[in-house]
């Protein structure tokens, strides 16, 4: 990307223009958010920037999700909200970007400074004259914050904020008082490129680190490379591939790293999901003597559904801005630098590992009768062959985030999911952002969303924004009548809180004003095969939704196996259920637990 | 209300039960929120409490709005969310309750303490092991917060939190670690009533205050009483009426106080909206020599659309927990106490004011031809006669919040709007909460929502929850093709950000699964008259939506007049527009400014 962008501009522009041109230099062409009294003069300026548009979301949380999804494709996103009500509505989305290392600028339109100084303006405040409370709240989920209230420093603050958001891949918070939007600034400042490469180097530390890592790497007999979230965020896809090819180590991805590596590569072994990994993956990863995690976000975490940690004696974690080897931390070692040094010093002839064939973890496809109702395991095994190179695949927290790990992507498939923060409904907003980003690429790749019926309800209206802009995602609505992942996690109860209001899902697109759309429903194996064999459905020529009807207590195999193992150890007095059938209570809202033998 | 509620309970119950029974004692029968891994064991217990239900919202912000709307009718509300993602999604709604003095308990399900202490569980965290960040964020918008992690104190903390939420009418934050939900507590503690009356008294201060206020009150020649937000929040409707009748002063309400006073009362003079009040109201209020504001939330505020302040030489402000007379503040003087003392000491024979007839500010109804397209001014003047005693009327920030001030309510009409915090979309969530509260009243009053098409898009899915529970609000969807209030506030631009995606609004109810509903559209005077004369439509026997089609640049007269005055002073080179018509750009999306002469 060429981060310098020359414009024919008058010698003086406004602060608002300066910010927007700087964003444009970083590749940002779509801005998300909602209009309000304190940001409208800034929004006016978007319409004057070449190839830049204001998306106009349906609410601020969705806007934050959209900016996040956009940034996961373009490495930078921006949303504009308003003081108080707007910024607080977005804060959960910003926190998600912070947790998952996504580069964003959150611009907040603030009351004019005169009102703040005089404490005059109390609309959208807590009524106590405290204008700083929202900035304070925003600081906890931002890598950097600035209020542009100083004529001497605002251009510097804008540059600094954008550099931090971009290089560290984290959200920053920029507050702009209304009266500052139109203050003049010299346009010649735009000719000074943003310095995006300034990571401090420490040669002694780098050498020591590389020697220690390579020493362990060369001696390893059963190694593994793991690709985690920050590989795609920090654009290290090519370097990671070089490392795999030089060492011939088997390589796996985490759920957050999925899509960063060519999954057709002969050394690719599948997805590592801790205790929920397939037996083939666990066998390699859990028993390896050396693990190199590239772009690590976390070394371990646990939820009530699974545990995730690396067990190798020699574990190297390359975080975004530091590294760890066993218990030693190497501070201030940027991921890009660490990879560069390792690749430069690696001597493949010293690698002792004798390459083993990496097993194909994708299960052979089951042949089922056309009239068999759909089950998650089968659907996820089939969808793999429907993916195409270049696809952007978005999955929601819940069963689809687990299901997707069963699939093997074609090369250059990109994957978006919010696996760590896990805010339900994220995927719909992210799909909007990714759809804008996809359209900005010349190749107009497909954007494919998998979202459950429960999650969809949180953010459904953002589909309206997709329709408004003629975006053409293909939406698989996995309808299992409620919050199935919660049903599985909290099995002791058949409580009504797992259920949701049933919607007439096929009407959603037309209700939101789509005049050219495709809405279908599939219930059986035959329906689904017809769908994925239909060349018309595979083309992203209009917005499409396919409702996939699934049983309420069904889930992808990884999740089911895990829970069934737990269940068997907890209780042997399980209900007697006939093999191959799923017993559902008479009202459709209370569910019996099912056993392994029930699965086809 | 009888705040002691006897249950036949075992000697030991759980912490979860204790909290829920205490809420039940305060009249809370509906709990809002979403299920998640850290709160599900608490939700299970809701199903065991007599006459208590879990509403199950579509997202957390909507849940907060719903709990707020519920509390505005019942004086107490509760929502349950989950750690991180859930609580942050709700925070804007909690901030609104804080700003507008609404009593709420926000219960947050947290990870078990063992995970927090070991920093093991990192799902739904920012990835930095900081488990306290969300509690810290919540503290800024709560009157009190507690984490129930101590076996010795949790029952005390629950009681204290609920007392604060109820008596101060503000949100409180209660974090419950997962492992604490089932710890035992003696059920006999429930027999000790919550002490809701503990306001400290200071007789000297009260006497001094009453003497000073009454001295000014007796001498006043042109007084006014203003009813503000805290009158209904702190249940002082009866006392306020007594004060009006004893003094015979003219009485007005603020937009936030609307509904607290019988508007059919002969001393009621209309709504005071600062610089946007009608001339009749401004003449009395702005030129009065004594103003007594009961239940004041603010003494003044300004937005870009209007200014609000009291100009009388002698202004008495009775806030919820202190009072002010001119520049003197009387601290720790509770609203209820202040009113009690004033009423006790008031001697009506000393009042010098000679009652003037209070003008009827409701304009005579215009007679228009049936085929005339609808305009805001006319619609708001007509709707008054459609209201019934007992109605709960909810208006959205935007044109409807201004329009409603044109109406005169029947007695016992209650009004909900978020006039100070002004979070767009609030009204839809509040309508859900108010509908539950209404159903809990034996009389099943009508709940009537006025929401713009722009605002509806932010929170539309909460209509699904209304349908799920068979609630029967009557929704007027004021469709003016976008954010009209923003168009009026920021007239210089005809920018696209004021426009929204057009929805097929009449399909909304059926898309969300309504099998028994009524959806209509009105465009003309004749349509509207037929609607409000249709006895079937007036009955709340099913959920109803009426789309009211209005011109994009139209607004209620108060807003129009204000803006037109501004405009005339700004520019005389206005477009030549034919009288009585509204020029709209060819594509329907760009709008010419209109002049006063355009209005019918």
Q: pLDDT by residue (tens digit) across A70-91?
A: 999 999 999 999 999 999 999 9
Tens of pLDDT, residue by residue over A199-219, are 778 999 999 999 999 999 999
User: Residue B423 contacts by C-beta under 8 Å, 6 or more apart in sequence?
Assistant: A85, A89, B65, B92, B93, B96, B397
CA distance A242 to chain B (A): 29
Q: Is B141 on the interface with A (CB under 8 A)?
A: yes
Band (pLDDT 50/70/90 cuts) for residue B492 is low
> What is the mean pLDDT of the segment spanning A270-281?
88
Task: Tell me: pLDDT of A555 over 70.
Answer: yes
Is residue A300 within 8 Å of residue A308, measured between CB atoms? yes
Q: Is B167 on the interface with A (CB under 8 A)?
A: no
Residues of the binding site of A for Mg(2+): 453, 480, 482
Percent of chain B with pLDDT over 90: 70
Coil, strand or helix at B313: coil
End-to-end Cα distance, chain A: 49
Cα–Cα distance measured from residue B194 to residue B22, given in angstroms and rounded to the nearest whole number: 8
For residue A224, the surrounding DSSP H or E stretch is strand A223-227
Q: HSE (CB half, 13 Å, CA atoms) of A260?
A: 33
What pLDDT is attached to residue A297?
Answer: 87
Q: Is B137 on the interface with A (CB under 8 A)?
A: yes
Q: How many residue contacts between A and B have a Cβ separation below 8 Å?
A: 235
> What is the mean pLDDT of the segment spanning A387-408?
88
What HEC string does A8-31 produce? CCCCEEEHHHHHHHHHHHCCCCEE
Tens of pLDDT, residue by residue over A41-55, are 999 999 999 999 999
CA A556 to chain centre: 20
Coil, strand or helix at A188: helix
Cα–Cα distance measured from residue A564 to residue A543, given in angstroms and rounded to the nearest whole number: 38
Cα–Cα distance measured from residue B445 to residue B440, given in angstroms and rounded to the nearest whole number: 10
Cα–Cα distance measured from residue B30 to residue B440, given in angstroms and rounded to the nearest whole number: 9
Tens of pLDDT, residue by residue over A117-134, are 776 656 678 877 788 899
Pairing of strands A300-302, A474-479: unpaired
Tokens for A522?
């599939």
| Residue B333: how many other CB atoms lie within 10 Å | 23
What pLDDT is attached to residue A362?
Answer: 63
Task: Tell me: pLDDT of B586 over 80.
Answer: no
A420 and B122 in contact by Cβ < 8 A? yes
A495 and B43 in contact by Cβ < 8 A? yes
What pLDDT is attached to residue A593?
Answer: 31
B486 and A36 in contact by Cβ < 8 A? yes
A91 and B91 in contact by Cβ < 8 A? yes
Residues of A in contact with B300 (CB under 8 A): 120, 122
A297 and B458 in contact by Cβ < 8 A? no
What pLDDT is attached to residue B122?
Answer: 63
CA distance B181 to chain A (A): 14
CA distance A516 to chain B (A): 14
Residues of B in contact with A423 (CB under 8 A): 85, 89
Q: Is B133 on the interface with A (CB under 8 A)?
A: yes
End-to-end Cα distance, chain B: 49
Pairing of strands A323-325, A328-330: antiparallel
Nearest to B413 by CA among B457, B448, B366: B448
Residues of B in contact with A506 (CB under 8 A): none
Task: Tell me: pLDDT of A397 over 50.
Answer: yes
CA distance A306 to chain B (A): 10
List % helix, strand, coil for chain B (3-state, nearest 5). Answer: 40, 20, 45
On average, the pLDDT of chain B sits at 88
Query: Which of A490-499, B196-205, B257-266 shows the lowest per-residue confidence on average (mean pLDDT)?
Result: A490-499
Task: Tell me: pLDDT of A7 over 80.
Answer: no
Q: Is A401 on the interface with B (CB under 8 A)?
A: no
Tens of pLDDT, residue by residue over A140-154, are 999 999 999 999 999
What pLDDT is attached to residue A566?
Answer: 59
Nearest to A121 by CA among B302, B420, B99, B100: B302
Cα–Cα distance measured from residue A97 to residue A91, given in angstroms and rounded to the nearest whole number: 10
Tokens for A216?
């362990």
Tell me which DSSP letter residue A439 carries. H
Cα–Cα distance measured from residue B78 to residue B172, given in angstroms and rounded to the nearest whole number: 10
> What is the mean pLDDT of the segment spanning A546-551?
95
What pLDDT is attached to residue B481?
Answer: 85
CA distance B384 to chain A (A): 28
Q: Which residue has the higher pLDDT, A321 or A93?
A: A93
Residues of A in contact with B44 (CB under 8 A): 492-493, 495
Q: Which residue has the higher pLDDT, A222 or A279?
A: A222
Report the residue from A61, A493, A513 with minimal CB separation from B504.
A513
Q: Is B373 on the interface with A (CB under 8 A)?
A: no
Is residue B487 within 8 Å of residue B82, measured between CB atoms? no
In A350-447, which residue ranges form alpha helices assigned H by DSSP? Answer: 376-383, 399-403, 426-440
Band (pLDDT 50/70/90 cuts) for residue A595 is very low
State whether the Cα torsion B39-B44-B47-B48 is positive or negative. negative
What pLDDT is attached to residue A129?
Answer: 74
Q: Is B96 on the interface with A (CB under 8 A)?
A: yes
> What is the mean pLDDT of the segment spanning A298-308?
73
Cα–Cα distance measured from residue A125 to residue B53, given in angstroms and rounded to the nearest whole number: 33
Tokens for A248?
């011939």
**What part of B 502-521 touches A (C-beta under 8 Å)?**
502-504, 507-508, 510-513
For residue B312, the surrounding DSSP H or E stretch is none
Choose the mutation target among B52, B182, B301, B504 for the interface with A, i.e. most A CBs under 10 Å.
B301
What pLDDT is attached to residue A113?
Answer: 85
Tens of pLDDT, residue by residue over B150-184, are 999 999 999 999 999 999 999 999 999 999 999 99
Cα–Cα distance measured from residue B25 to residue A156, given in angstroms and rounded to the nearest whole number: 57
Tens of pLDDT, residue by residue over B424-435, are 999 999 999 999
Q: Is A51 on the interface with B (CB under 8 A)?
A: no
What pLDDT is attached to residue B568?
Answer: 57
Domains recognised in chain A with CATH numbers = 3-191 (3.40.50.970), 203-350 (3.40.50.1220), 376-556 (3.40.50.970)
Tens of pLDDT, residue by residue over A154-191, are 999 999 999 999 999 999 999 999 999 999 999 999 99
Percent of chain A with pLDDT over 90: 70
Query: Which of A510-514, B320-324, B505-509 shows the lowest per-residue confidence on average (mean pLDDT)?
Result: B320-324
Residues of A in contact with B507 (CB under 8 A): 507, 510-511
Q: Is A49 on the interface with B (CB under 8 A)?
A: no
Pairing of strands A12-14, A184-186: antiparallel
State whether the Cα torsion A409-A410-A411-A417 is positive or negative. negative
Task: Tell me: pLDDT of B22 over 70.
Answer: yes
B37 and A486 in contact by Cβ < 8 A? yes
In A441-524, which residue ranges form alpha helices assigned H by DSSP? Answer: 453-459, 462-468, 484-489, 508-511
On average, the pLDDT of chain A sits at 88
Report the residue from A37, A137, A304 with minimal CB separation from B140.
A137
Task: Tell me: pLDDT of A565 over 70.
Answer: no
What HEC string does A269-321 produce? EEECCHHHCCHHHHHHHHCCCEEEEECCCCCEEECCCCEEECCCCEEEEECCC
Tens of pLDDT, residue by residue over B439-457, are 999 899 999 999 999 999 9
CA distance B103 to chain A (A): 15
Q: HSE (CB half, 13 Å, CA atoms) of A506?
A: 9
Tens of pLDDT, residue by residue over A286-296, are 999 999 999 99
Band (pLDDT 50/70/90 cuts) for residue B280 is confident
Coil, strand or helix at B317: strand
Residues of the binding site of A: 453, 480, 482
> What is the mean pLDDT of the segment spanning A349-364?
82
What pLDDT is attached to residue B304?
Answer: 65
**What part of B 263-302 touches A (C-beta under 8 Å)?**
297-298, 300-302
Cα–Cα distance measured from residue A239 to residue A329, given in angstroms and rounded to the nearest whole number: 22
Residues of A in contact with B457 (CB under 8 A): 58-59, 461, 464
Q: Is B132 on the interface with A (CB under 8 A)?
A: no
Band (pLDDT 50/70/90 cuts) for residue B47 is very high
For residue A103, the surrounding DSSP H or E stretch is none
What pLDDT is attached to residue A573?
Answer: 37
Residues of B in contact with A228 (CB under 8 A): none
B480 labelled ligand-binding: yes
Sheet holding A474-479, edge to edge: A414-416, A392-395, A447-452, A474-479, A543-549, A517-522
Cα–Cα distance measured from residue A236 to residue A319, given in angstroms and rounded to the nearest whole number: 12
Band (pLDDT 50/70/90 cuts) for residue B3 is low
Residue with tokens 């002073």: B569
Report the residue from B120, B124, B507 with minimal CB separation from A422.
B124
Report the residue from A96, A489, A496 with minimal CB separation from B37.
A489
Q: Is A420 on the interface with B (CB under 8 A)?
A: yes
Task: Tell me: pLDDT of A484 over 80.
Answer: no
């Amino acid at each position: 990307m060429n981060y310098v962008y020359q414009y024919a501009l008058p010698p003086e522009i406004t602060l608002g223009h300066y910010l927007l041109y700087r964003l444009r230099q970083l590749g940002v062409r779509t801005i998300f958010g909602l209009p309000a009294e304190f940001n409208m003069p800034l929004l006016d300026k978007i319409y004057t920037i070449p190839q830049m548009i204001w998306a106009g979301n349906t609410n601020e949380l969705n806007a934050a999700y959209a900016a996040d999804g956009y940034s996961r494709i373009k490495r930078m996103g921006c949303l504009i909200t308003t003081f108080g009500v707007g910024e607080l509505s977005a804060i959960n989305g910003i926190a998600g970007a912070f947790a998952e290392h996504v580069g964003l600028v959150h611009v907040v339109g603030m009351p004019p400074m005169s009102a703040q100084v005089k404490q005059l303006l109390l609309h959208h405040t807590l009524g106590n004259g405290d204008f700083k409370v929202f900035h304070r709240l925003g600081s906890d989920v931002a890598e950097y914050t600035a209020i542009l209230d100083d004529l001497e420093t605002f251009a510097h603050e804008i540059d600094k904020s954008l550099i931090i958001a971009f290089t560290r891949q984290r959200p920053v918070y920029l507050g702009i008082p209304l009266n500052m939007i139109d203050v003049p600034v010299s346009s010649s400042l735009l000719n000074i490129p943003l310095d995006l490469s300034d990571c401090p180097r420490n040669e002694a530390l780098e050498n020591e680190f590389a020697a220690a890592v390579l020493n362990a790497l060369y001696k390893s007999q059963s190694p593994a490379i793991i690709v985690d979230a920050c590989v795609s965020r920090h654009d290290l896809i090519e370097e990671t591939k070089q490392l795999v090819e030089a060492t011939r180590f088997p390589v796996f991805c985490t759920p957050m790293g999925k899509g960063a590596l060519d999954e057709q590569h002969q050394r690719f072994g599948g997805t590592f999901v801790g205790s929920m990994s397939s037996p083939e993956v666990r066998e390699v990863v859990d028993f390896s003597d050396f693990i190199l995690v590239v772009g690590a976000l976390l070394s371990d975490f646990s939820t009530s559904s699974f545990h995730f940690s690396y067990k190798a004696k020699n574990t190297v974690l390359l975080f975004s801005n530091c590294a760890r080897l066993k218990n030693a931390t190497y501070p201030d070692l940027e991921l890009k630098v660490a990879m560069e040094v390792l690749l430069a010093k690696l001597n493949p002839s010293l690698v002792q590992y004798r390459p083993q064939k990496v097993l194909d973890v994708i299960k052979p496809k089951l042949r089922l009768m056309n009239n068999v109702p759909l089950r998650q395991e089968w659907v996820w095994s089939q969808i793999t062959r429907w993916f195409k190179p270049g696809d952007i695949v978005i999955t929601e927290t819940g069963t689809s985030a687990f299901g997707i790990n069963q699939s093997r992507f074609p090369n250059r498939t990109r994957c978006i999911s919010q696996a760590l923060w896990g805010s339900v409904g994220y995927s719909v907003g992210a799909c909007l952002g990714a759809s804008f980003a996809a359209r900005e690429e010349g190749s107009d790749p497909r954007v494919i969303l998998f979202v459950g019926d429960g999650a969809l309800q949180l953010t459904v209206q953002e589909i309206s924004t997709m329709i408004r802009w003629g975006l053409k995602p293909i939406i698989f609505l996995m309808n299992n009548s409620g919050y199935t992942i919660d049903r599985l996690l909290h099995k002791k109860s058949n409580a009504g809180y797992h259920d949701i209001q049933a919607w007439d899902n096929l009407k959603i697109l037309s209700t939101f004003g789509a005049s050219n759309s495709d809405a279908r429903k599939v219930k059986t194996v035959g329906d689904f095969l017809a769908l994925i064999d239909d060349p018309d459905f595979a083309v992203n020529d209009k917005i499409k939704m396919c409702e996939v009807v699934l049983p309420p207590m069904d889930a992808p195999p990884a999740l089911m196996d895990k829970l069934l193992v737990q269940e068997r150890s907890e209780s042997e007095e399980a209900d007697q259920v006939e093999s191959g059938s799923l017993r559902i209570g008479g009202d459709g809202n209370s569910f019996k637990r099912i056993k392994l033998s029930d699965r086809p």
